[in-house]
Amino acid sequence: MPAGSPGARQAVTGPVDAPAVFRRRDGHVTDWHDDVTVTGVRPGGSGPVTVTLEGGGEVQADEVLFAAGRQPNTADIGLDIAGLEPGSWLEVDDTCMVRALQDGWLYALGGINHHDLLTHQGKYQARIAASAIAARAAGQPIDTAPWGPHAVTADSRAVPQVFSCDPPAAEVGLTADQAERAGHRIRVIDVDPGATVIGANLYADGYPGRARMVVDEDHGYLLGVTFVGPGVAVCDGPG
């Protein structure tokens, strides 16, 4: 954050482990420290922020970016009653059933299972888990083969992601290069959304953008899609 911002007016104390601390100047890294512990961050008023490292070293910078990561919010939801550790991630199988419970009554969806900490992946997992629960209740077989109706295959093979650039970009699945290297016989289809997609010009006059679809020629299904253009973030999510 900027050195003079309200959030930087109070010194930050207490050790924080960091994979790396570095300083950039004119687009280049000039000071790099691997696997260090930050023991304090001291604001400098209108001047630079000083980051104090364990052992006494210091790094000065105009801005500090702190990537805190995530922890499961499971400390007080009663996991101990089921014999599970409060505050832990819940490891699940392909149907999102919690592995640690042998009788198979508990499912964990979304960030709590540590697959992909994204809202749309949690919704996708909910649909798969619901199908698996219904099949088990009806005594039907469970199909957890890749892309089967009871497997969260997309959690490892097709996680939608958005790139916050201008214009924004989004993708899911394989690129054309990745698909060819994986041995697929492909066809690439490039689309100008502004010229071919009904409604694109309602979003923006003369909508500028591009979409590319990678199709498996032997099986007739999509291997991946990439979008570039205004508003593409809302196009990118599991169906």
The rounded mean pLDDT for the chain is: 83
Q: What is the mean pLDDT of residues 62-89?
A: 87
Q: Over the stretch 18-49, which tens digit does the pLDDT of each residue have?
A: 555 555 566 555 666 777 788 888 887 777 88
Q: What is the mean pLDDT of residues 102-113?
A: 93
Q: Over the stretch 113-141, which tens digit does the pLDDT of each residue have?
A: 999 888 889 999 999 999 999 999 999 99
DSSP state of 137: H
Q: Is the pLDDT of residue 91 over 70?
A: yes
E runs forming strands in 106-220: 161-163, 169-173, 186-191, 210-216
Q: What is the mean pLDDT of residues 166-171?
A: 88
Q: Over the stretch 174-208, which tens digit does the pLDDT of each residue have?
A: 999 999 999 999 999 999 988 888 778 788 788 88
Amino acid at 145: A
Contact 59, 21 (CB under 8 A): yes
Q: Is the pLDDT of residue 83 over 90?
A: yes
Does 18 or 106 have the greater pLDDT score?
106
Contact 187, 215 (CB under 8 A): yes
The model's confidence at residue 95, banded by pLDDT at 50, 70 and 90, is very high
- Would you state the pLDDT for residue 230? 87
Q: Are strands 49-53 and 58-61 parallel, antiparallel or unpaired?
A: antiparallel
DSSP string, 155-179: HHH---EEE-SSS-EEEEE--HHHH
- Would you state the pLDDT for residue 149? 96
- Would you state the pLDDT for residue 217? 96
- Would you state the pLDDT for residue 28? 59
SS3 for 101? Answer: coil
- Would you state the pLDDT for residue 11? 42
